[in-house]
Structure 1
Amino acid sequence: MNGQSVSTMNNREKRKLEKRNRILEAAIKVIAKNGFHGTTISQVASVAEVADGTIYLYFQNKDDILVSIFEETMEMFITQGLEVISQYDSVEDKLRAIARCHLGNLGSNEELACVFQVELRHSIHIMKKFSQTKLREYFGVIQKVVEEGQRQGVVRADLNPWTAVKVFFGALDEMGTNWILRQKDYRLIDMAEPTVDIFLNGIRKPGV
């Protein structure tokens, strides 16, 4: 979980990155199982197979670990979102691609989904920080598509793009949370199509 290119690192940097990633992956497992407030640094260190003190070489505290999980997950969403929208011409297909990418990532990693959708919401001050960083950048990816649709005349020109972005993200976010809180007896990625359909077409019957 890190945006730096591995090819540009020396062996020492690679080992440090591998250990940092191992700590984050261990933290995701422990937090998903015990909850954020029920998780200790010692538990994370044990699963990561490092000494307790090693954790503090990479992270200031438990909050810092949670922030890092969020930021690197969002960085993944941003990078993949930009990549997938470049593969399509129509705004509708671009929104579908973002939705599939978002829900597909969460649906393929239940532990990450649990931390991202549930545990992150337990700290107001952390959430406030998130809204000013990577989350806003991710919103920018979606906003780019919405504004493209407005220029093409396929999205209403009178809509505030930022409001539309929050509605779209909110729908995806709720799909992820609902999947985690239920029995997960369906594929989360399958909710991408109906979510985009309702976002673009609403619930009003055509012709009414």
Structure 2
Amino acid sequence: MFDLFKNFGSSDSISFFKLYNNLRAWQDAGRFPAEYELPEAISFTEDFWKRVIKLYKYTRADGFERAIAVFWADGDLILSSDIMGNRKAVTPKSNVSVLYSASRHKGYLRKEVFLNDKLYSRKDVYEKKVPRQIEVKYLFNMHTHPPHEGADGQNFYTYFSAQDIKSLLASKAVITGMIGDKLNILFRTSSTPSSADQITDQQINMEFLVRELHIAVYQGDFKSKVKRVTIN
């Protein structure tokens, strides 16, 4: 009997596109990944990083939180348009759809992706590779945190809030992300509790998330791999 879920070793580093196959399998099986099934590091595309850096710069300039919702649309990773909230919270609202139509090129179909009813991308795809059923799935949300000025006059960025963690646990999402001066990604695992209503902002740090909530924590500089944090 073969193992449907690839078990990543501690030295593994994979692209998010490859990781998506496991995310889809875990979702179809109705479960969250075990801690040992997640890789040591994850890489993202150049387009993904361009959007992350854009959000970071806008938030640093005006102090307002922004968010993007990340969707999978028949093999394409779609990032929602920027959303401005107030200085304390941001609520992302996006929808994605895919349309296939005849192409001028023989053996191909025209694929159009729409984000919030506006054309997001258009390209021709090989007809035999077009799926019988269109697959559009919400994957996760990311949001930005603005910088704060410390007593020494230096800027610093806060980490995830208790509400961020409560929202993750209350949802069916496996992942959430936060953009400060680095990209932070959290993976909920099969050992993560279904709720943590009593946690406070003062408790939230990497060690607490890993040890107490069994959340896989990743962090990385912009345009670099995000690496899994290990607590000894």
Determine if the TM-score, normalized by the shorter chain, exceeds 0.5: no
| Larger strand fraction of residues | 2
TM-score, normalised to structure 1, is: 0.28
Structure number with the bigger relative contact order (C-alpha 8 A, sep ≥ 6) is 1
TM-score, normalised to structure 2, is: 0.26
| Larger helix fraction of residues | 1
